Amino acid sequence: MHSLAKSTLFLLLLLAALSAHAQKFEGLATRPPLGWNSWNTFATNINEQLVKDMADLFVSSGLKDAGYEYIVLDDGWMAKERDASGNLIADPVKFPGGMKAVADYVHARGLKFGLYNCAGSKTCAGYPGSRGHEYQDARLYASWGVDFLKYDWCGAGKMNAEEAYTTMRDALYAAKRPMVFSICEWGDNQPWNWATPIGHLWRITGDIANCWNCEEGHGSWSSWGVLRILDMRKGIRKASGPGHWNDFDMMEVGNGMTVSEDRAHFALWSMMASPLIMGNDLRSASKQTLEILGNKEVIAVNQDSLGIQAMRYLDENGDLDVWAKPLSNGDWAICFLNRSETPYQLQFDWSKHRISEDITGRNLQFSDANYQVRDLFQHKNIGTTKVVLNAVVPVHDVIMLRLQKS
């Protein structure tokens, strides 16, 4: 056999052997990841100083103490071409110190560092993708100290999504540095049906937009408002759980919606056990924005160890949603969402309701038990479930409660 053919055969056998024993890194993302991503606000206009500023603000603003830990650079961090050896290069103008130095800076503040690439030959912004370089790129990320890889789907052509993401999963495992693997193929190939053994989270829709209930068309694809994403997928709750999350996309809190809409957005993503990845400029964030993002009581619902995605319990004529999420220790989170254009006068008689949840098999029969009721945005107890809840839910806002058995 020709020596080149032998080398090729050896390489194929080696990759097959590696794949046979490969798996995703277990013990990661046992709770939805919390962090920040550059794309929503900065697109490809990113640089070394921006990362340092975000890392410092995580610490000084209290966001790190609230649980946020990942700083993820999205598309545009690399040079337009690979080097002579086929390696990715950090853009020397944007990142003059190199990517390892950036990762070291983030790590020195007790945080974790993430990068972006694409399964296709080009990223969505036209930079080098990983197709054909998966193992090479994974080794490079490991050498830089990367903790999180967001892997997009642009330029994928007729590639099989499950196979493409499995290849990168295997490459990451072979590189021997545990990394959270974030699958970003927009839900087009129904990853909730196959991605649990491959990734730690998977996007369920196309990109989010900083609007409440809109669709922004871009020709062959669209961006979606908060309500559109909330309503887009049905019947995928059971796919989500510790180590494998339905990802509702990065948050737009602080990016131009009303304070009520920001609060509802944050509450809903927390109820849905979605990763909470900020997408705003923390350097100019208002006090109200930071209070929403840093709300430890709401974050605790998102980070609950059961890892159950909320269910829509009630829909009042399209005006009011009632979402329910079972929590550990027998607690429940309840979220009243006003979808309408007028304030909603809520009169909720707990005794008339029974909530049955099919993942845990738990039933909440209010007539048989009494729960303390805590408002998670007012940070105070507001009574018990033996008393009718009378409150006004503002336009595009929520009342989010935690119920604890008396």
* Nearest to 207, CA basis, from 197, 193, 220, 192: 220
* Nearest to 19, CA basis, from 198, 195, 166: 166
CA distances from 32 to 36, 74, 180, 197, 350 (A): 13, 19, 11, 16, 30
Cα torsion 121, 127, 128, 131 to 10°: value is: -30
d(CA 249, CA 182): 11
State the burial class of residue 298 (Cβ atoms within 10 Å of its Cβ: 0-12, 13-18, 19+).
buried
Could you tell me if 295 and 264 are in contact, meaning their C-beta atoms sit under 8 angstroms apart?
Answer: no
Examine the residue annotation and report whether 152 is marked as an active-site residue of this protein: yes
Contacts for 16 with CB less than 8 Å, ≥ 6 apart: none
Q: Are strands 380-384 and 371-375 parallel, antiparallel or unpaired?
A: antiparallel
d(CA 255, CA 211): 9
DSSP 25: P
The catalytic position among 75, 137, 147, 152 is 152
The catalytic position among 207, 249, 281, 321 is 207
The full length of the chain comes to 406
Examine the residue annotation and report whether 319 is marked as an active-site residue of this protein: no
State the burial class of residue 61 (Cβ atoms within 10 Å of its Cβ: 0-12, 13-18, 19+).
middle
CA distances from 396 to 168, 193, 212, 336, 375 (A): 40, 32, 8, 10, 17
**Active site residue ranges:** 152, 207
